[in-house]
Structure 1
Amino acid sequence: MTMTAADLNALRPALQQRAHKRFLNVGCGSAGPERLPECFQQAGWQQIRLDINPAVKPDIIADTTDLSAVETASMDAVFSSHNLEHLYLHDTVAALNEMHRVICPGGFLLITLPDLQQVAQWVAEGKLTEVIYQSPAGPITPLDILYGHQRSVAEGNTFMAHKSGFDKHSLSEALLKAGFKEVRVTADPYYNLWGYAQKA
């Protein structure tokens, strides 16, 4: 589930028909627009980039747990790619509550992060340090998925360390507790969870 334009149109046809829509890219990092899900690459979407790391030159410098720089109900959507796992578990509650707050009624959250259930299978087989796929950052092992990209952390980018994690059930539960109305969580072949959560 990477959320295509057709998927979004089926889920939120009224939202898709709006001429101008804004989404907050939480924990945007340095990735370019080509790395966004297809639904956000369509005409009419304006991206607002937010990150805690000033080096990636975001529009807003902020911690994911405090989005006070963003007005309540001011975003049609929030996109969160691989940043929730960088927070301690108790802080993920605050982060999801903040994401819910800034989304307008009828808007949605699209979130992706590591699927610890899939990774645990590799760990159980004694393959903690085996390369399981190649990423733009280089080879990725189960150890990288569990604790953060080890090479980046070793080079001083401590923002890359992982402090918590989710499986399908726990992510669904966390999204519902944050106040989202409709929640769908799926796993992809690359050890990621994808969650769609609609705000009433």
Structure 2
Amino acid sequence: MTTTARPPAGLRDFYENPAVPVASGDARSRRQARMLATALRGRAGATVLDVGCGDGTAAAVTARLLPGHRIIGVDWSQDALRRAAPRIGTVVRGELEGGALPFATGAADAVLFAEVIEHLVDPDGALDELRRVLAPGGHLMLSTPNLAAWYNRALLLAGVQPVFSEVSLRGIHGRPGSEVVGHLRLYTARALRQFLAASGFEVVRLAGAPFHGVPRALRPLDRLACAVPGAASILLVHARRAR
């Protein structure tokens, strides 16, 4: 198993800062929750880990669609766990260093991995660890911003830094937006499919979701773009651990 590189102290401090956003859009959370509910249909008592749970918003949305299942929030940030606990109930501190999640091999039936992979120094080691804690055939529900979102294609043609990408943890430079959120890596739909397959997952479905930060006037267009996942703002993937 590949060992996930420990993030630099400055990056760890960045994510422990209460001013850094740890929630993502409701539209993405609802779509991802429906995908997971469909995957678990007919099952009872599944264990679902929300790895990188942030403030627990996504897990709370998911719990409403998954009665009878156990959802556990996992994050390395003490501040995030403090905010998540009232929404989730069960939270655990854990990191994605190799073998460091506090769960036995094959303990989880499903993992929510929402808006996390773009923040990681070593996504290879992270997927190794998620695969370890998933039971054979277990479900991975991953979401991440799309480098090839419809507006990013236009911005690049105009010589503008794409939305979601960041060149500094101290400020915004060369792109639209006002929040620094610590994105280190970005994926297209094709790259994400290939990466998951190489990491021992079978992609069941790839869908799109809108981005809550799109200007109001452009939101209808952003919702329409979800019909073509490769051009959507957010990539939603349902994958299964290969047996």
Provide TM-score, normalisation by structure 1: 0.73
Q: 1:55 to 1:9 in 2, by over 3 A?
A: closer
Letter in 1 for 2:198: K
In the alignment, does 2:95 pair up with 1:63?
Answer: yes
SS of equivalent to 1:69: coil
Task: Tell me the secondary structure at the aligned position of residue 118 of structure 2.
Answer: helix
Cα distance in 2 for residues equivalent to 1:30 and 1:149: 24
Corresponding position: 1:81 with 2:114: yes
| 1:16 paired residue among 41, 51, 63 | 41
- Two-structure CA RMSD over aligned residues (Å): 3.2
Contact 1:50 1:62 in 2 (8 A): yes
Aligned counterparts of 1:43 and 1:182: Cα–Cα separation in 2: 25
Matching of residue 106 in structure 1 with residue 130 in structure 2? no
**Residue ranges of structure 1 left out of the alignment (5+ in a row):** 130-141
Per-residue deviation, 1:9: 6.3
Distance 1:178 1:127, change over 3 A: same
Is the 2:97–2:125 contact (alpha carbons within 8 Å) kept by the matching residues of 1?
yes
The aligned length equals 176
Deviation at 1:4, TM superposition (A): 5.5
Note closer, same or farther for the CA distance 1:115–1:148 as it changes in structure 2 (3 Å cut): farther
Q: Give the ranges of 4+ consecutive aligned residues of structure 1 lying more than 6 Å apart after TM superposition.
A: 148-153
The percentage of counterpart residues that share the same residue type is 24
With over 3 angstroms needed to count, the CA separation of the structure-2 counterparts of 1:96 and 1:25, relative to structure 1, is: same
Residue 45 in structure 1 maps to residue 69 in structure 2: yes
Deviations 1:16-68 (A, max 9, x none): 32321111101111133576358x73211211111111111262222234443
Unaligned regions of 5+ residues in structure 2, if any? 1-27, 85-90, 173-178, 212-232
Write the letter of the residue equivalent to 1:18: R
Question: Are the counterparts in 2 of residues 51 and 60 from structure 1 also a CA contact under 8 Å?
Answer: yes
More strand by share: 1
AA partner of residue 165 (structure 2): L
